[in-house]
């Protein structure tokens, strides 16, 4: 979880302390359409996973992304 949030903060260029898992796209101003791509790019690299086109279009909360990464990587 910690690793996830710090990857999110790094990708969006914000302070990790201002993040929590229950935030979603509308709560974070940095998470705009470009931020969305930066976020997915950063997470793919950090966790060595791939989001599908469809997932990339629909994911909009940190919890959902976290769950998805969890099932992909089977750890944490």
Partner 1 sequence: MIAFLSNINIEPIKGFFEEETYFGGFNQYALELIDEKSRLHSKEITKVILFIDGEEFLRDLICEQLPNENILKEANERIIELLAMIKQYISKKGDVCFLINNIVLPVHSVTFNLKNRAIDFLDIEISMNKKIKEAAKSIHDLLILDWEMIVKSIGFNNLHDDKFWYLGRIKLNNKAFAAIAENYQNLVSAYQGKTKKVLVLDLDNTLWGGVIGEEGPNGIQLSEEGQGKIYREFQAVIKLLKQMGALLCINSKNNENDLETVLSSHPMMILKSDDFLVKKINWNDKAQNMKELAQELNLGLDSFVFIDDNPVERENIQKSLPEVVVPEFPKDISTLKSWFFESVIYKYFGKIYLGEEDLNKTDQYKTKLKRDSFSIGLTMNKFIKSLEIKLKIHHNPTEYIQRIAQLTQKTNQFNFTAKRYSEAQIRKFIEDDKVQVFGLDYEDKFGKEGLIGVAILKINQEKREAEMDTLLLSCRTIGKDVEYVFLGEILKKAQTYNILKIKFEFIETGKNEVAKTFYAQVKGKDEWEDLESLLIKSLEKTKINKIDIL
In order, the DSSP letters of 9-39 are HHHHT--GGG--TT-BGGG-TT-SHHHHHHH
Using CB under 8 A, which of the segments 1-9, 16-24, 38-46, 68-76 binds partner 1? Answer: 38-46
Specify the residue, 22 or 38, whose C-beta has the smaller distance to partner 1.
38
For residues 8 and 2, give the distance between their C-alpha atoms in angstroms, rounded to a whole number: 10
- Map the footprint of partner 1 across residues 18-37, applying CB under 8 A: 33-34, 36-37
For residues 13 and 16, give the distance between their C-alpha atoms in angstroms, rounded to a whole number: 9
Residues that bind partner 1 (CB under 8 A): 10-11, 13, 33-34, 36-38, 40-42, 44-45, 50-51, 53, 56-57
């Amino acid at each position: 979880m910690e690793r996830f949030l710090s990857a999110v903060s790094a990708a969006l260029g914000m302070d990790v302390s201002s993040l929590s898992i229950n935030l979603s796209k509308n709560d974070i101003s940095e998470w705009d359409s470009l931020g969305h791509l930066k976020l997915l790019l950063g997470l793919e690299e950090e966790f060595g996973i791939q989001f599908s086109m469809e997932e990339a279009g629909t994911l909009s909360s940190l919890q959902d992304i976290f769950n998805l990464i969890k099932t992909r990587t089977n750890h944490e």
